[in-house]
Chains A and B, each alone.
Chain A
């Protein structure tokens, strides 16, 4: 706003970067230290960070956050989580985050708190974000059974045909619990075909890897 005319190029790059933040986030950040009091702001930031880093852990709720101006608090929670996620995504350090926030004319105490918390838990945030992969599931485990029906919904006696009941899945990173991704039944021939396809993939990989 009251920037010197000499720093126009710097301003341009900052504009490009602040464009990464949506207006909802900006509005949520502006609530901090203004509509939401400073102690509550600190509490809100700490709570958001905890919930971001440990999504599966059971964390005690903080009802005092929503006692007054609940809509603003919800908006601010979203804003804080988004800000940290964006910062981690674009590899900002504490100083860069502070520059970004100062561009937005936020409350100084809130800016201090945000940059401090970000700086302190940057490593954890990076580790958290590194674990996010594709939207397609990773298959890391396979279980199978050979099944044969005694009687079925359509027939009263056994068909006598054995088939393979195959379950592809992975383990949840946090709890270690197994998650089924695909479950299917096939006969020996189809299984053979699947295995051949998988072998083809391996062969292709080997072919590609040969320089």
Chain B
């Protein structure tokens, strides 16, 4: 049963997320029961106004809520035993039956809609329309086929038969005299008076319908009113443009008269243009020359900078060569001094360098040690992480196993269902066998009974005849009658015993059923509630008395 309970819990959780799933239905409190049942009923019949929860305090209110829910369940077709007690003192068996019924009744489209949009208790127009269409379609699918001729007869229309025999085909070019006759020309008027076909002639062809054409033309005329207005606006805006044309024309004629100055001016312009062009060409030539000169200048400066260092060197050598010996000695002295200077400098350099190199070594070793340490740390950390991860993995594996076990896969269910079906078949065969046996027995009984009856009648006749003459035979007849009566009594007793055993079995089954309902606890709850009621009544009476007393005093 716990699997059924699980399925019920799952469904209830989908209906109302506020219902906390518990392991078994017997753990449901009255508040949860009310919440679950009213949630289901609201889904099944959204038009129904039902209380969503059980009020905490007053018993009367609780009773009212429970009664209204029970009535709602009855109205939606629940046939089992239901009343306020089902909600206030729930027992697992009844509750399971009720919830299974309600879940079966839940509308199927709910599953589709609840994925996307948030659930709304009130239906939108679109949903209502869809529901209507669905109803109509269901009705149409059930109706028998009717030939077209019979569709508009009688109440066929109620059965979803369409009688729309005429197609909506308007003649879109209806020629009807327009509203104001002043606009028409003489020829038009004459045509309309004499030759134009009337409305009925225009729509008499099979491809058009009179009413459709007329409605179409009317709509066209109505909405056409808007169009002429807009064209009028365009016409009026064009109007001021037309007087411009004559003003332009005089300027053109004046231009002819003043031909000579314009000619003069254009000649001048031509001249200036030619001048401008020659100047531009000159400018271009100059620019090219400037560019060439600049290039030459850069080349020359480059050569100068190349030559200058060699020139300086030459000057110095010529200076040195002027007084060669003296200068040589000077140069040697300078060489020596620079060598000694260089030696002292290298010494100094070595002095400075040594401690620095040592410290560098020290620092390098320290850094390496530090790096090693940090790597070690990170290794340790990673090890710890690995441990945690493996642990988590194990845990998840365990939960996965338990989940797959607890969810009891579909295969398991089908196997069980097959098993049940097999059992039921076997039981049915047994029942049929027993029934056959019973019938056979009944037949035998009847045969034997009839035989016995015949035998008895025959014997009775025989003995009765001889009893008239013989005293022994008389006694035998009496004994026979007694034996017959006793046997009848015995048979009655046996059948009575059978009936009594049957009744006993039925009662045992009933007792078992009642035991399941655990009457004792509900009885305790009921007595507790009655006591509460009494207490409440006493309080109320006391209050009434107090009020009466105060009234009497005043």
Q: Which residue of B lies closest to A205 (CB)?
A: B137
Query: With a CB–CB cut-off of 8 A, which chain A residues contact B134?
Result: 208-211
Q: A70, A135, A211: which contacts B138 (Cβ < 8 A)?
A: A211
Query: With a CB–CB cut-off of 8 A, which chain A residues contact B189?
Result: 71
Interface 1/0 per residue, B161-202 and A, CB below 8 Å: 011111111000010111111000000010011101011100
**Docked-complex contact A51 and B215, CB < 8 angstroms:** no
Whether A77 contacts B141 in the complex (CB less than 8 A), given A134-B164, A136-B167, comes out as: no
Q: Which residue of B lies closest to A133 (CB)?
A: B164
Q: Looking at chain A's contact residues, is the secondary structure mostly helix, strand, loop, or mixed? A: helix
B399 within 8 A of A: no
**Docked-complex contact B218 and A82, CB < 8 angstroms:** yes
Q: A19, A55, A130: which contacts B163 (Cβ < 8 A)?
A: A130
Contact residues, A72-94 vs B (CB, 8 A): 72-75, 77-78, 81-82, 85-86, 89
Query: With a CB–CB cut-off of 8 A, which chain B residues contact A77?
Result: 198-200
A137 to B140, CA, bound (A): 20
A211 to B174, CA, bound (A): 48
Query: With a CB–CB cut-off of 8 A, which chain B residues contact A210?
Result: 108, 134, 138
Interface 1/0 per residue, B135-168 and A, CB below 8 Å: 1011011000001110010000000001111111
**Docked-complex contact A133 and B214, CB < 8 angstroms:** no
**Docked-complex contact A78 and B164, CB < 8 angstroms:** no
A66 to B137, CA, bound (A): 51
Q: Which segment of B204-212, B400-408, B430-438, B540-548 sits at the interface?
A: B204-212
Q: Which residue of A lies closest to B131 (CB)?
A: A211
Q: Which residue of A lies closest to B189 (CB)?
A: A71
B222 within 8 A of A: yes
**Docked-complex contact B148 and A140, CB < 8 angstroms:** yes
A66 to B273, CA, bound (A): 81
Q: Which segment of A1-9, A24-32, A153-161, A191-199 sits at the interface?
A: A24-32
Q: B178, B194, B212, B215: which contacts A70 (Cβ < 8 A)?
A: B194
**Docked-complex contact B198 and A133, CB < 8 angstroms:** no
**Docked-complex contact B164 and A138, CB < 8 angstroms:** yes
**Docked-complex contact B225 and A23, CB < 8 angstroms:** yes
Interface 1/0 per residue, A33-58 and B, CB below 8 Å: 00000000000000000011001000
**Docked-complex contact B215 and A74, CB < 8 angstroms:** no
B107 within 8 A of A: yes
**Docked-complex contact A81 and B214, CB < 8 angstroms:** yes
Q: Which residue of A lies closest to B193 (CB)?
A: A70
**Docked-complex contact A86 and B138, CB < 8 angstroms:** no
| A-B Cβ contacts below 8 A, count | 148
**Docked-complex contact B215 and A23, CB < 8 angstroms:** no
For A, the interface residue count at a CB cutoff of 8 angstroms equals 52
**Docked-complex contact B164 and A131, CB < 8 angstroms:** yes
**Docked-complex contact B211 and A138, CB < 8 angstroms:** no
Q: Which residue of B lies closest to A65 (CB)?
A: B198
B133 within 8 A of A: yes
**Docked-complex contact A128 and B211, CB < 8 angstroms:** yes
A12 within 8 A of B: no
**Docked-complex contact B168 and A19, CB < 8 angstroms:** no
Q: Which residue of A lies closest to B211 (CB)?
A: A85
A116 within 8 A of B: no
Q: Which segment of A103-111, A143-151, A168-176, A182-190 sits at the interface?
A: A168-176
If A25-B221, A55-B203, A89-B215 are given as contacts, then 19 extra A-B residue pairs at C-beta distance below 8 Å, sorted by A number, are A24-B177, A24-B178, A24-B179, A51-B200, A52-B211, A66-B198, A75-B176, A75-B177, A82-B214, A129-B211, A130-B163, A131-B165, A135-B167, A205-B137, A208-B134, A208-B137, A210-B108, A211-B135, A211-B138
What are 18 A-to-B residue pairs whose CB atoms are below 8 Å? A21-B218, A22-B217, A23-B225, A24-B177, A26-B179, A51-B210, A55-B209, A78-B214, A81-B214, A82-B215, A128-B211, A131-B152, A132-B167, A132-B211, A136-B167, A138-B165, A209-B138, A211-B108
Interface residues of A (CB under 8 A from B): 19-28, 51-52, 55, 66, 69-75, 77-78, 81-82, 85-86, 89, 128-138, 140-141, 170-173, 176, 205-206, 208-211
